[in-house]
Structure 1
Amino acid sequence: MEINIRKGTIEEVIALSKKVPEFFQPYTEKTYEERLSDVPHLILIATAGNKPVGFKVGYRRYGHDIFYSWMGGVLDEYRRKGIATKLAESQEVWAKTNGFVKVTFKTRNRLSKMIHFGLNRGFMIVDLIKKGEVKDYRIVMEKVL
């Protein structure tokens, strides 16, 4: 199966996010537009054949040289095929090429696969935000490019 990474649209991300089981309340088009307007941003879509199977969205946040990897997901049946890694690699290359020196993201304590993914990609845990139950605490991770 050949996986390709290309730039995508908010509409594609919304359609995919509705199919990712971890997103019990996917963001609306309005939320994406509010977050991405007036800042450098990148929307990536992973395709298998012509079928969109994953996405990654990020934008400049916390300063001029920090790229926030905000949202991403891969359809359940396409996981464990390196798609998330290809999306992350493409995002990091784009961020570095565009003058960013760090990539950061937040995940929830209950999403251990995402925490492991970040650690395996060279991210470090830099903060813990206590919000809600312990399983919903936010884990903040950062990587120097």
Structure 2
Amino acid sequence: MKWHIEQGCVEDLIDIENQIPEFATPKTREILDARLQGKKVLLLIAKVDGLPVAYKLGYAVDARRFYSWLGAVIPQYRGAGIAQALLTEQERWCKAHGFHSIAVKSMNRFRSMLMMLLKNNYHIVDCHPLEDGTDSKIHFLKTL
């Protein structure tokens, strides 16, 4: 499978988001706009044959710290290395723009994401259970 990565638009992200079965509540334009307003943002989209199939979205916390907020790959495109390619491109962009670290949060139930972060030298810096006890939120940090 051949793909390419480009800086993308919110419409592509929303299209992908709505095809992710693990997301009970896909993000809306209003949620995205509220969180990203006034921030330096990087939205990467992976496309196969011109179709958006994956994304990685993050933003500057300040001049030195970047927060990798959201990401997803449509199920039928998983396992091809797209998520790794998006992570690698995000790190390259962050280094080129002077960021010193990237923070990420994930959930224990997203095991493939956890494994990818650990494999790429992201370190667990915090972990806490959800209030309902169904899962745990895990905080990662990577120094660039």
Classify the TM-score, shorter chain.
over 0.9
Cross-structure match for 1:112: 111
- 2:64, 2:129 → 1: CA distance? 26
What SS does the aligned partner of 1:39 have? coil
Deviation at 1:131, TM superposition (A): 2.4
- 2:36, 2:2 → 1: CA distance? 29
- 1:28, 1:57 → 2: CA distance? 14
Cross-structure match for 1:14: 14
Q: Which runs of 5+ in 2 are unaligned?
A: none
Q: How many residues align?
A: 144
1:88 aligns with 2:87: yes
1:44 aligns with 2:20: no
Q: Which runs of 5+ in 1 are unaligned?
A: none
With the length of structure 2 as denominator, give the TM-score of the two structures: 0.94
- 1:48, 1:58 → 2: CA distance? 22
Deviation at 1:130, TM superposition (A): 3.0
With the length of structure 1 as denominator, give the TM-score of the two structures: 0.94
With 109-118 and 82-91 compared, the bigger mean Cα shift is at 109-118
- 2:126, 2:90 → 1: CA distance? 22
Cross-structure match for 2:53: 53
Structure 1 segments, 4+ long, off by >6 Å, are none
- 2:36, 2:98 → 1: CA distance? 18
Deviation at 1:11, TM superposition (A): 1.2
> One-letter code of the match for 1:70?
W
